[in-house]
Structure 1
Amino acid sequence: MCIFGDMELNYKKLGEGKPLIILHGLFGTLDNWMTLGKSLAEHYQVYLVDQRNHGLSPHSDRFNYDVMADDLAEFIEMHRIERPSIIGHSMGGKTAMTFALRHPDMWDHLVVVDIAPKVYPVHHQQIIDALKSLPVESITSRNEADEMLSRDITDFGQRQFLLKNLQRKKEGGFEWKMNLEVIEKNIEDIGRGMEDRLTTEKKVMFVRGAKSHYVKDEDYILINQLFPTARIETIAGAGHWVHAEKPEELLDLLMDFLRS
């Protein structure tokens, strides 16, 4: 644990070498990147971070990219990390972009995984409604939770991803690690586009999944406005969860880029 101002963010540190910080996406935790993080830790000192209102980090009523970018800046200063490279997936990618544009001297390489700096209409309400419908305090097992959740979310992999947010309470039953109420309240902020009109010509790579709809060809215009030297890569056969679906292909791209 580490104190970031008034925010004690949860993190795990792996390996030795040049520093590398990884930020997960919405409804995620640092554990989503543990497998790839271990591979990267063979060459880098990897910091896997739970963003506020997620994982084992504290809950807060403030939840937007401004405060999450501030969290990242404070994290780097608190740990005295010298010019880390940053990898951010989805929501974590927008946090990383916001931070990178505001603090161009605090980082080395930036990798944004399957998200563009554009506005995304709210499209998570079905997930939120399904999670809220679960009687987490009275369920007795994860299998029971999975069975109930399957009525609204048919994809098994997506359910397993979401159910990683369940934790058992000492007194019985379960509770959500994430702050579902605040996430729902601020979901439009999470979909907002990049409002900074800053740009950077530092080393930036965008990676998208070929089967994902998050980054389209027409988004390249906006990407290049903010990040004129950006390298844009597409991984065949991958959807939005590139790191889970095509970890080896993503690792090869990351190693090639981070060594450049």
Structure 2
Amino acid sequence: MGVVKHLEDDFHIIAPDLRNHGRSPHHECMNYGVMAGDLLQLIDDLAVGEVSLLGHSMGGKVAMWLALQQPERIKKLVVADIAPVAYAHSFDSIFQGLSGVPLDEIQHRDAADQRLAEWVVDRGVRQYLLQNLVKQPEGWSWRFNLEVLRKSIPDLIGFPQPDRLIYAGEVLFIHAERSDYVIDAYRERIGQLFPHYRKRMLHGAGHWLYAEQPLLFAQAVKGFL
């Protein structure tokens, strides 16, 4: 992510792709338990005893779940524009748009953007999604595992129900001014699981706040860590 360049001089950063995303392996099983397990395995493989975690949206839920499961391994936690709650499903148009891009017909990325725009109006969201469109010798393809993501949406829009688990470390919830992913109605649930949390609003940003306001986002993260 672009925000890394604003943080890499001060921190040793590891920026993994979650399973079924980017260059990470594809797998039929995708939920917060297995993704948190992937992340813990990576930390163990790198022989890192304790880390600070930063996660946005679905990645934020993975980070929260790992912190609840393995609190002794997490020094501090930063959660970007997401809460430990279930959300309404609002991704049908995105999946329809991605599935509707004729990968065997398009000649360039702009053509894919034009087709995707029929379903996804927000250009910033389209540009984010199109980062996963890659050209191979045999033609265009999506890096992410589109079908597994679609099937996993019921799990991904939710959040596991922890049994008397809390993370007692310091947590920063950075939420966006033009987003409704972290609202006052969720504060009680956040406080139950993360009693030592604080919130910070990032002005002039929507849900993709780290891409829309990378410098302000990085400053908030740096100040907290």
TM-score (ref. length: structure 1) = 0.84
1:45 and 2:6 correspond:
no
209-218 vs 132-141, which moves further: 132-141
Pick the structure with more strand per residue: 1
Q: CA RMSD in A?
A: 1.0
One-letter code aligned to 1:190 = L
1:239 aligns with 2:198: no
Secondary structure of 2:12's counterpart equals: strand
Higher normalized contact order (CA 8 Å, seq sep 6+, divided by chain length): 2
What residue in structure 1 maps to residue 60 of structure 2? 93
2:188 is the alignment partner of 1:221: yes
- Measured in 1, the distance between the counterparts of 2:85 and 2:96 equals 25
TM-score of the superposition, structure 2-length normalised? 0.97
What's the counterpart of residue 146 of structure 2? 180
Q: Unaligned stretches of 5+ in structure 2?
A: none
Structure 2 residue aligned with 1:194: 160
Shift of 1:254: 0.8
Shift of residue 193, structure 1, vs aligned partner: 2.4
User: What is the percentage of aligned positions where both structures have the same residue?
Assistant: 39
Please say if 1:251 is aligned against 2:218. yes
Q: Is 1:36 equivalent to 2:14 in the alignment?
A: no
- Deviation, structure 1 residue 255: 1.1
Aligned to 2:93: 126
SS at the partner of 1:57? Answer: coil
- Which residue of structure 2 aligns with residue 70 of structure 1? 37
Contact 2:176 2:202 in 1 (8 A): yes
Q: Which runs of 4+ in 1 moved over 2 A?
A: none
Please state if 1:108 is matched with 2:85.
no
Which letter does structure 2 place at the counterpart of 1:120? Y
Cα deviations by residue, 1:73-131 (Å, 9 ceiling, x for unpaired): 10000001131100000000000000000001111110000000001121111100110
Structure with higher helix content: 2
Deviation of the 1:235 alpha carbon: 1.1
Q: Contact 2:6 / 2:215 at 8 angstroms: preserved in 1?
A: no
Alignment check: 8 A CA contact 1:207 1:232 kept: yes
Per the alignment, residue 165 of structure 1 pairs with 132
What's the CA shift for 1:194? 3.5
How many pairs are equivalent? Answer: 224
What is residue 51 of structure 2 aligned with on the other side?
A: 84
Q: Which amino acid aligns with 1:44?
A: F
Q: Measure how far apart 1:137 and its partner are.
A: 2.3
Say if 1:121 and 1:188, in contact at 8 Å, map to a contact too: no
**Partner of residue 150, structure 1:** 117
SS at the partner of 1:249? helix
